Amino acid sequence: MPRRSVLTTERSGLIGHVIDDRYQVVKKLARGGMATVYVAHDLRLSRTVALKVMNEGLGESGDFTQRFDAEARAAAHLSHPNVVSVFDQGSDEGRPYIVMEYVQGFTLRQLITREAPMDPRRAIELIEPVAAALAAAHTAGLIHRDVKPENVLISDRGQVKVADFGLARAVTAHTSASTTGLVIGTVSYIAPELVTKGHADARSDVYSLGIVLYEMLTGRKPHTGDTPIQVAYSHVHNQITAPSLEVSTTWRDGRGGIPPYVDALVTTAASRDRMHRPADAGVLLGHLRAARDALGRGVLDDPELSARVRRTDAGAAPVRPAPAARGWAPSGSSRRSRRCRPRSTSRPTAPRSTATAPRPTPPPRRTPRRCPRSPSAPSARGPGGAGSWRSS
């Protein structure tokens, strides 16, 4: 007979116990500052679930309890294939818990550790479903507030899901970080306005996602320091550099470099001035799709796309993806000295007539620069291998 839980015991003592006469704790997955996540077995429905239990000592804090309960309410409002589903919520022996979908696989943090710096096309294909999940949240009036690689789960089948909406809150225009002055969000990915004003909106999630994409492309975080305060200071005062400046164009199997429109996408999303970022994740998602399509067609430079990505007006509509692309042909040459030459785009002008005033010559149309197609495009494979839901 399974032992009923007494949640005032030590964490290791929960293994084998049954929470609320229903969820039998199987093993520990991860522990965060607010809660501990376990694999559990739902005795009523006979399924494996993820059980998140508030850490000892925090249940007495009204602030933390309210924030913990908000996770279930926020995530329960989201029905999206890229959002971790919430099944149940309750309290056992005065300790709040949340029951969530169990994702067998690994985190984006683990994938970055193994693969970064990533091929631009692969990085964008991985980050696109994250933006789709955040876009659904923003449409519902929710912000995540803690976007980071540890909160992006990748199943063994390659499905990407965003977890831990524990810091998300329903918003109208803005929300405060907390009533106690606590800065919410992991410092490596926190938006500058959360540091300086304690306020967040959809653009704060866009910023964090831009920082994550930068790290995927370069293998390093753009804001670093010896202490969290130094990292936070860098977010507020330093604009990130273009990711193409941080990587070699000949890295890893001769893959090509980072195109200018991908540079523009990342630096705009992660701008320290929130008004220079896309208005929400829906707008960013359109840019990601356009960039993915351009990469698929082997486009190295597209000034029109770069300019479109830099549009910061709140009314900017998501970019519609172009028709299906063929394989990407990466170039091994440097961005500063490309082997691909632009096509001739100048138009012949008609001879000037003496009877009528001459017509002005139309300006040449700038066309995207691209390389010849290669018979072997880089694999857009899904992530493989088994793992567990934990930070690395």
Note whether 201 and 298 are same-domain residues: yes
Report if residue 266 sits inside a domain.
yes
Question: What span, in angstroms and rounded, lies between the C-alpha atoms of 288 and 265?
Answer: 8
The rounded radius of gyration (Å) of the Cα atoms in the chain is: 24
Question: What span, in angstroms and rounded, lies between the C-alpha atoms of 38 and 30?
Answer: 7
Report if residue 325 sits inside a domain.
no
Question: What span, in angstroms and rounded, lies between the C-alpha atoms of 271 and 248?
Answer: 23
Question: What span, in angstroms and rounded, lies between the C-alpha atoms of 28 and 84?
Answer: 18
Note whether 80 and 224 are same-domain residues: no
Question: What span, in angstroms and rounded, lies between the C-alpha atoms of 279 and 289?
Answer: 16
Report if residue 365 sits inside a domain.
no
Note whether 75 and 223 are same-domain residues: no
Which of residues 101, 130, 164 is at a domain's end?
101
**Single pTM value for the model:** 0.74
Report if residue 37 sits inside a domain.
yes
Report if residue 340 sits inside a domain.
no
CB atoms within 10 A of CB 76: 15
Which of residues 101, 131, 153 is at a domain's end?
101
Which of residues 309, 330, 345 is at a domain's end?
309
Note whether 146 and 224 are same-domain residues: yes
Note whether 60 and 150 are same-domain residues: no
Q: Which residues are catalytic?
A: 146
Note whether 147 and 63 are same-domain residues: no
Question: What span, in angstroms and rounded, lies between the C-alpha atoms of 29 and 390?
Answer: 6
Q: Is the dihedral of CA 326, 327, 328, 332 positive or negative?
A: negative
CATH number assigned to the domain comprising residue 84? 3.30.200.20
Dmax of the chain from CA atoms?
A: 103
Note whether 82 and 35 are same-domain residues: yes
Please tell me the predicted confidence (pLDDT) of residue 296: 94
Give the 3-state secondary structure of residue 215: helix
DSSP at 172: S
Report if residue 339 sits inside a domain.
no
Please tell me the predicted confidence (pLDDT) of residue 59: 60
Note whether 183 and 165 are same-domain residues: yes
Note whether 81 and 217 are same-domain residues: no
Report if residue 199 sits inside a domain.
yes
Note whether 74 and 177 are same-domain residues: no
Please tell me the predicted confidence (pLDDT) of residue 2: 52
Report if residue 372 sits inside a domain.
no
* β-pairing verdict for 17-19 and 3-4: parallel
Q: State the amino acid at position 236 in one-letter form.
A: V
Note whether 157 and 213 are same-domain residues: yes
Q: Answer for the pair 283, 135: CB distance below 8 angstroms, yes or no.
A: no
Q: Answer for the pair 69, 59: CB distance below 8 angstroms, yes or no.
A: no
Q: State the amino acid at position 384 in one-letter form.
A: G
Q: Answer for the pair 89, 99: CB distance below 8 angstroms, yes or no.
A: yes
Number of structural domains the chain divides into: 2
- Cα separations in angstroms, 258 against 28, 74, 134, 218, 238: 40, 36, 25, 10, 22
CB atoms within 10 A of CB 260: 19
Q: Answer for the pair 133, 161: CB distance below 8 angstroms, yes or no.
A: yes
Q: Give all strands (DSSP E) within 32-141, no chain letters.
A: 35-42, 47-54, 86-92, 95-101, 105-107
Instruction: Say how many CA atoms lie within 13 Å of 92 toward its Cβ.
Output: 25
Q: Answer for the pair 121, 380: CB distance below 8 angstroms, yes or no.
A: yes
Closest CA to 93 of 139, 125, 59, 142: 59
Please tell me the predicted confidence (pLDDT) of residue 90: 85
Please tell me the predicted confidence (pLDDT) of residue 93: 80
Please tell me the predicted confidence (pLDDT) of residue 91: 82
Note whether 263 and 249 are same-domain residues: yes
- Cα separations in angstroms, 188 against 83, 196, 197, 236: 22, 15, 17, 12
Range of the domain at 254: 105-309
Give the 3-state secondary structure of residue 301: strand
User: φ and ψ at 50, to 5 degrees?
Assistant: -100, 125
pLDDT tens sequence for the chain (392 residues): 455 544 444 445 689 999 999 999 999 988 876 778 999 999 999 999 999 988 776 666 666 667 777 767 777 878 899 999 999 988 888 788 889 999 999 999 999 999 999 999 999 999 999 999 999 999 988 888 889 999 999 999 999 999 887 665 544 334 554 444 445 568 999 999 999 998 889 999 999 999 999 999 999 999 999 999 999 999 999 999 999 999 875 334 445 689 999 999 999 999 999 999 999 999 999 999 999 999 999 998 999 999 999 986 544 554 433 333 333 333 333 333 333 334 444 444 444 444 444 445 454 555 555 544 433 333 333 333 333 333 33
